[in-house]
Amino acid sequence: MAYNLLKGKKGLIFGALNEMSIAWKVAERAHEEGADIVLSNTAVAIRMGNVSELAEKCGALIIPADATNVNELESLISQAMEHFGGKIDFILHSIGMSPNVRKGRTYDDLDYDYLQKTLDISSISFHKVLQTCWKLDAIAQGGSVIALSYIAAQRTLYGYNDMADAKALLESIARSFGYIYGRERGVRINTISQSPTETTAGGGVMGFDSLLDFSNRMSPLGNADALDCADTCVMLFSDLSRKITMQNIYNDGGFSSMGMSNKAMAIYNRNLEECKDCK
Ligand SMILES: NC(=O)c1ccc[n+]([C@@H]2O[C@H](COP(=O)([O-])OP(=O)(O)OC[C@H]3O[C@@H](n4cnc5c(N)ncnc54)[C@H](O)[C@@H]3O)[C@@H](O)[C@H]2O)c1
């Protein structure tokens, strides 16, 4: 159901690759709520994925940019403002990638060049987007910026690897820049900590199916899917969340407040004997 919550707002959405992408669902929901949208991703992702299908559906413009490259970001933000005929009201940073995860390098055997790339792509790119927008004065008063995070920033989850460090940095950038943007420009900056979600990036995490099942069992409301995340984004982009800033909002069905659930305990009991030597 649409409520016209973003009517007249102009948004820049990073990270829609295919229909599984969380950013894809956010773009669809933002469009339904009346927003005018620019989509961005790397040139390769635009070629490999089906972003043009989404753009057609949402009447959106696609502008390629590598979010780690400040020159490309400057060009993107300037073009987006020109297209909108003014400032941007909301931005979604839905970008993450770890070469260590992709190449199967475990946390006790990280490749440090890969780690730099993980941090640059998954976290520092958020600072680069915010700083570029700051210098171009690109975000409107009352605007809202969201980056997508995961609870591995606070707690250790087997297999999440250096992405845990990347998410901790991402959340810190949201707070540090959130202070400056709030004070000087009346702009909100938050992160959403999302349940494990079946996407291209999500599927790359070691033991992802088990993690998905475990989270679902532990969460009283069950895992939040990409559409649930999109709805939370719409709420945070809208004027209904005017005073929410510098927060990490858990969109996780209650997982982050749980210790053990009945549903998870049932599985654990069954496998106790088998798992007695597990580390
Ligand atoms: N899927 C999950 O379980 C889950 C859970 C919590 C948080 N998240 C976060 O949600 C975000 C979106 O991931 P997703 O699960 O929708 O997967 P996805 O693979 O669909 O999206 C990741 C996107 O990052 C883009 N990207 C990678 N490098 C880039 C660069 N240099 N410049 C610009 N874009 C670049 C990719 O092209 C892709 O579109 C990520 O930050 C991810 O960590 C995902």
With a 6 Å cutoff on the Cβ, whether 202 touches ligand 1 is yes
Full strand arrangement of the beta sheet holding 61-62: 61-62, 36-40, 10-14, 88-93, 139-149, 188-194, 248-251
pLDDT of residue 73: 99
For strands 10-14 and 61-62, give the pairing. unpaired
Q: What is the best residue among 148, 160, 171, 248 to mutate for testing ligand 1's pocket, by most ligand atoms within 8 Å of CB?
A: 148
User: Which tokens in the block code for residue 3?
Assistant: 């409520």
With a 6 Å cutoff on the Cβ, whether 11 touches ligand 1 is no
CA 74 – CA 93 distance, rounded (Å) = 16
Which residues, in sequence order, are bridge partners of residue 189? 145
H/E element, 232: helix 226-237
With a 6 Å cutoff on the Cβ, whether 152 touches ligand 1 is no
CA of residue 266 to ligand 1 center, whole Å = 33
User: Which tokens in the block code for residue 241?
Assistant: 């969340």
Q: Which residues of 169-185 are buried (b: 16+ CB within 10 A; e: fewer)?
A: bbbebbeebbeebeeeb
What are 47-95's pLDDT values in tens digits? 998 999 999 999 999 999 999 999 999 999 999 999 999 999 999 999 9
pLDDT of residue 203: 84
What are 23-47's pLDDT values in tens digits? 999 999 999 999 999 999 999 999 9
pLDDT of residue 57: 97
- For 220, residues 6+ apart whose C-beta sits below 8 A from its C-beta are 253, 254, 258, 261
Nearest CA to ligand 1 atom 12: 94
CA of residue 199 to ligand 1 center, whole Å = 8
pLDDT of residue 271: 64
CA of residue 273 to ligand 1 center, whole Å = 38
This prediction's pTM: 0.97
CA of residue 167 to ligand 1 center, whole Å = 12
Residue 272 has pLDDT above 70, yes or no: no
CA of residue 267 to ligand 1 center, whole Å = 31
Nearest CA to ligand 1 atom 26: 95
Which residues, in sequence order, are bridge partners of residue 10? 36
CA of residue 172 to ligand 1 center, whole Å = 18
What are 210-265's pLDDT values in tens digits? 999 999 999 999 999 999 999 999 999 999 999 999 999 999 999 999 999 999 98
- For residues 23 and 94, the answer to whether their CB atoms sit within 8 Å is yes
With a 6 Å cutoff on the Cβ, whether 145 touches ligand 1 is no
What are 164-218's pLDDT values in tens digits? 999 999 999 999 999 999 999 999 999 999 999 999 888 888 889 999 999 999 9
Give the fold, CATH level 3, of 10-271.
Rossmann fold (3.40.50)
CA of residue 244 to ligand 1 center, whole Å = 24
